[in-house]
Amino acid sequence: MTKAAENSCELERLAQDIAAKTKEFIAVLHKNGHALPSHDPGLPRNQSLPPAGVTLQTNLMELTTELQALVQGPRLHVHNQILAHVNLVNLHAIYKLKLQELVPIDGSISYKHLAKSVGVGEDVIRRIARYAITKHIFQENDGNYLAHSATSKMLAESPMMMEWIGMVCEEMWPAATQAIPALMKWPGSQEPQHSGYAIAHNLDTHVFDMLVDQPERAARFANAMIYFNSNEDLAPHHLCDAFDWVDVKQLVDIGGSAGSTAVALATRLPELNIVIQDHAVLGEQAQRSIPHELSDRIEFMAHDFFKVQPVHDADAYHFRWIFHDWPDKYCVMLLRALIPALKTGARVIVSDFVVPELGTQSRYREGLVRGFDLAMMELFNAKEREQRDWDKLFCDADPRFLFDGVRAVAGADLAFISAVWGGA
C-alpha cells in the first residue's frame, strides 16, 4: 500500500470511529437523562457525566485531536500551536476586566456601555469580545450587544474557575516565558528557586514561601486549587478505592491543607483516625472544614514536612500533590524525614500523576500529563514522574523502602504510588 493510500485509510478510519463514538455518546446521554452538548446558555449543562459518558468523551477528544492534526498537516499544525498564546491574552482580559460579571446572565450589554464600565476603548472591547466569540465564549446580538454563551455563563457562575484563570495568566504564564532561560542559567540544578517563576517574579525562594507573605496571591492560589480539586477526576475520595484499608487505623495526611482528603477518607472509613499536617496558618481553616461528626477522628497539627516526623507508628503516611512541587533532592529529604517515625510495615502513599511510558496511551491523554510536567518545571524546577522515577526516588531515600507499585482507580486522573517500610 502506498503512503497516500495509508493516509487515506487513516483519515477514513478516524472519521468512522468519530461517527460511531458520537452515536454511542448521544445514546449514553439520552439513557442517563443528560442534555446534548450545546453552546446555548439557556440549556442545562452536563456537570457530571456517568462513567461511560466520561470514557466516550475522552475517546472523542482523542480521535478528533488526531483527525485535526492529520488534516492540518505539519505547517498548519505548528502554526496553530504558536498562535494559541493569544488565548491567554483573551482570557486574561476577561479576568482582569471582569467581563463575565458585567454581561447580564439573561440579557445583553452594548459594547459602548461595557467599554464605559471598564474604562477601556469600545474598539478594544469589541476586539477582545469578538475573539472570545470565536472560542464560543460570549455571543453577539445585533452587532452591538454582547450576551452570554454557555461557556461565558459558566465562567460568570464559577468564581473559583476565574481564580484559576487569574493564577494561570498572572503567575504561570510569565513563568512559562522564562522556563528555558532558567534551564540555561542553572543547568542541572536541584533547587526549586532556580525556575522560570523565580526569574519572572524576581524570587529567590520557593513559590510557597513567597505566598506566606502575600495573602491576596495566596488566597487566589488556594481558590484555584479548590476549583481544580472540585473536578470529579481529581476528587480525593478516589484514594479510598486504591487500597484495602482494613488494617489501617491511623493515617497522617502530610501537606493535607484544609482537610479535603482527610474528610473523604474518614467519611468512608469509620475506623480511621487522621492527623492533618500543614502550615500553622491553615489550622483554623481546617477546623472549619471538618464536619462536627468527624471532629473526634480528625485533628490538625502544624508541621514542616522537611522536619522529622513527630507522629510515630502510624499505619500510613499520605502525600497528595506534594512531590511534584519539588525536585528529586527535596523529595528524598521528605521521605527521609519520615524514617525515625516509621514502624515495620507502615505504608507511604503518594497521590500524584504518573507519566505514562511514551506511546502507551493516546497522544491526547499522554500530552495532558506531560503538559503538567512542563508546568512543574516552569514553576518549581520540579517534575511529574514515570513509574521508574518513583521507584528510584524511594530507593534513593532508603533501600528499606520497598516499592509497592502504582495503583490506578477508574475515574481518577491521579495515580496512587506506595512503598512499605521494611524496617531494620
- Compute mean pLDDT per 10 residues along the chain, 424 residues long, and list them: 67 96 97 92 84 93 96 95 95 98 96 96 97 97 95 95 95 96 96 95 85 81 80 88 94 91 94 93 83 95 96 97 96 98 98 94 93 96 97 98 95 94 87
Strand pairing category for 108-110 and 145-147:
antiparallel
Q: How far apart are CA 255 and CA 94, in angstroms?
A: 33
Distance CA 47, CA 29 (A): 12
Contact at 8 Å (CB) between 174 and 200?
A: yes
Question: What is the structure's pLDDT at 157?
Answer: 95
What does pTM read for this prediction? 0.90
Q: How far apart are CA 275 and CA 313, in angstroms?
A: 12
Q: Which one, of 375, 55, 73, 351, lies nearest residue 207 by Cα?
A: 375
pLDDT of residue 217: 85
The amino acid at 409:
V
- Would residue 250 be called left, alpha or beta, if left means φ above 0 and alpha means ψ between -120 and 50 degrees? beta
CB atoms closer than 10 angstroms to residue 227: 18
DSSP string, 124-179: HHHHHHHHHHHTTSSEEETTTEEE--HHHHHHHT-HHHHHHHHHIIIIIHHHHHTH
Q: Alpha-carbon distance 48 to 413, whole Å?
A: 15
Q: According to the model, what pLDDT value does residue 205 have? A: 83
φ and ψ of 23, to 5 deg:
-65, -40
Active site residues: 324
Neighbours of 291 (CB within 10 A): 11
Query: Which residue in this structure is represented by grid cell 491543607?
Result: 257
Which residue type is seen at 196? G
Q: Which residues pair with 301 in a beta bridge?
A: 277
**Residue 122: what are its φ and ψ, rounded to 5°?**
-60, -40
**C-alpha of 198 from chain center:** 21
